[in-house]
């Protein structure tokens, strides 16, 4: 008879005992009917001893489990028995091993699956610190597999010296992260770049070291303009001047200029004649010796369009008599000498008229076929020959008076005439 306690290593349940007693009574017939068991599989456990490599287990065989790598027992037994092709239940309980959290001074730790078995810890340092050691560690069966890294402060080598400058200051062989050094240019030189450099997290000073420049701008030249205010030569970096245009000129561009690092001015304005507004009539310069232009009376009759083919209109002397339009078909009028006798237009078909002495008696043309005309007696009565004589005097004097008046008028206007005087032929003037 099989001892059930010996087979299982512990007190077996009553059902199992009856099965074993029955199999022992049946003898070889019962053994022929028993079934083997396949290899038992537990996710958190593994077989121990000689049973690790087996794939098939005979009926009634007792095996033992233990917690797998990375897991730890929390109690119970790991033994189980193959009974008719089935493994009995094991009471062993296993859980993942926990490696615990890690600490990194001046740095950070991130975990892929917490701090239990199989989790990966990733390390990084704060800005200004550099990691020394492994960047990642894995939680093993009993602990983290590796040594925890450290974060050490970044160091920068001393930056170079700069020509025509003092510094870097302070002077050291090594500088800690965030340390600052400064440069200062010598007299008459201007710094180009940053005067301060800082030790950065990559172990280098930033930005790049500056340079020292001699800055001199030439005196500005603005045609038709002059300096209004600002600095005087020499023009160094950031010297400021302001220019303005001469009267009659308009500035294009910025009138305030600054001397830049490249020894040039920030702007170059121009003084130009302002453009003419096409909607405004141009105003010509006024000749101070000319007559003033009087304002136009808006109620007067309109200045008519001028025929471009006509002669130009000369300025009118305000003290002279108005000039009447000249009939182009009339004979030219010569200036009249006020001391001379007036000359009337001559009809070429008429007899020549001799100048008349106003103190003398008028002489009428004589008809050769008529009777001679005797002098008239002023004491004679009207209706006689005296009346005829007076009538003749009237006929002679009226044309003379009219001719003198017209001559004087034409003389004053002669200089204003637009047509040049043309001399008369001698045979037409007596």
Render pLDDT for 148-206 as a digit per residue (tens, 0 to 9).
Answer: 999 999 999 999 999 999 999 999 999 999 999 999 999 999 999 999 999 999 999 99
The model's pTM: 0.43
Predicted confidence band of residue 314 (pLDDT cuts 50, 70, 90): very low
Residue with tokens 């005296």: 386
Q: What is the mean pLDDT of residues 327-337?
A: 49
Q: How far apart are CA 278 and CA 281, in angstroms?
A: 7
pLDDT in tens, 233-287: 999 999 999 999 999 999 999 999 999 999 999 999 999 999 877 786 655 555 6
Give the domains, in start order, of the chain with CATH numbers.
Answer: 4-96 (2.10.70.10), 107-153 (2.10.70.10), 155-213 (2.10.70.10), 225-272 (2.10.70.10), 330-363+383-430 (no CATH)
What pairing do the DSSP bridges indicate for beta strands 45-47 and 62-67?
antiparallel
pLDDT in tens, 103-137: 999 999 999 989 999 999 999 999 999 999 999 99
pLDDT at position 405: 80
pLDDT at position 208 is: 95
Q: So what's the pLDDT on residue 366?
A: 41
Identify the pLDDT of residue 251. Answer: 95
Is 97 a residue whose pLDDT tops 50?
Answer: yes
How far is Cα 98 from Cα 117, in angstroms, rounded to an integer? 6
pLDDT of residue 56: 84
Continuous H helices in 220-368? none
Give strand pairing partners of 256: 242
In Å, what is the CA distance from 239 to each residue of 231, 242, 408? 6, 11, 79
Question: With 50 as the cut, is the pLDDT of residue 11 above it?
Answer: no
Q: Report CA-CA distances (Å) from 390 to 39, 130, 401.
A: 182, 147, 16
**Cβ neighbours of residue 44 closer than 8 Å, sequence gap 6 or more:** 67, 68, 71, 94, 95
Q: Each residue of 24-76: pLDDT tens digit? A: 544 444 444 568 898 888 878 888 878 787 888 899 899 988 988 889 888 98
Say what the pLDDT of residue 389 is: 57
Cis peptide before 430 (omega within 30 of 0): no
Strand boundaries in 37-92, DSSP class E: 37-38, 45-47, 56-57, 62-67, 71-75, 79-83, 86-87
What is the tens place of the pLDDT at every residue in 365-400? 445 444 444 444 444 444 444 445 566 667 778 778
Q: What is the mean pLDDT of residues 63-92?
A: 89
Q: Which two tokens stand for residue 402?
A: 């009219």
Q: What percent of the chain has pLDDT over 70?
A: 60
Cα gap 67→97, rounded to integer Å:
11
Distance CA 388, CA 220 (A): 101
């Amino acid at each position: 008879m099989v001892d059930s306690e010996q087979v299982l290593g512990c007190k077996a349940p009553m059902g199992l005992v009856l099965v074993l007693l029955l199999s022992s009574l049946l003898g070889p017939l019962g053994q022929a009917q028993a079934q083997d068991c396949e290899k038992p599989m537990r996710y958190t456990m593994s077989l121990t001893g000689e049973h690790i490599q087996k794939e098939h287990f005979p009926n009634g065989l007792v095996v033992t489990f233990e917690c797998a790598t990375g897991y730890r027992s929390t109690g119970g037994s790991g033994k189980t028995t193959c009974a008719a092709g089935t493994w009995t239940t094991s009471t062993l309980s296993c859980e993942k091993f926990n490696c615990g959290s890690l600490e990194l001074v001046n740095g950070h730790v991130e975990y892929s699956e917490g701090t239990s078995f199989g989790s990966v810890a990733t390390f990084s340092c704060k800005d200004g610190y550099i990691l020394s050691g492994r960047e990642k560690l894995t939680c093993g069966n009993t602990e983290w597999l590796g040594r925890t890294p450290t974060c050490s402060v970044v160091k920068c080598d001393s930056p170079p010296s700069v020509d025509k400058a003092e510094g870097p200051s302070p002077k050291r062989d090594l500088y800690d992260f965030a340390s600052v050094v400064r440069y200062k240019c010598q007299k008459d030189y201007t710094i180009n770049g940053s005067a301060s450099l800082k030790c950065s997290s990559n172990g280098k000073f930033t930005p790049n070291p500056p340079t020292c420049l001699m800055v001199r701008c030439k005196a500005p030249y603005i045609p038709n303009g002059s300096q209004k205010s600002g600095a005087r030569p020499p023009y160094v970096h950031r010297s400021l001047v302001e220019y303005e245009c001469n009267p009659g000129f308009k500035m294009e561009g910025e009138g305030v200029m600054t001397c830049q690092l490249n020894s040039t001015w920030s702007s170059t304005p121009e003084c130009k004649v302002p453009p003419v507004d096409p909607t405004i009539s141009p105003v010509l310069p006024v000749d101070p010796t000319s007559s003033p232009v009087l304002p136009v009376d808006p109620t007067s009759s309109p200045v008519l369009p001028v025929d471009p083919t006509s002669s130009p209109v000369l300025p009118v002397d305000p003290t002279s008599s108005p000039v009447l339009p000249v009939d182009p078909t009339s004979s030219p009028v010569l200036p009249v000498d006020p001391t001379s006798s007036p000359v009337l237009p001559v009809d070429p078909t008429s007899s020549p008229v001799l100048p008349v002495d106003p103190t003398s008696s008028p002489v009428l043309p004589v008809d050769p076929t008529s009777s001679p005309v005797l002098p008239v007696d002023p004491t004679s009565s009207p209706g006689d020959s005296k009346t005829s004589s007076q009538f003749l005097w009237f006929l002679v004097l009226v044309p003379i008076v009219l001719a003198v008046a017209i001559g004087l008028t034409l003389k004053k206007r002669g200089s204003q005439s637009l047509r040049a005087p043309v001399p008369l032929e001698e045979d037409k003037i007596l």
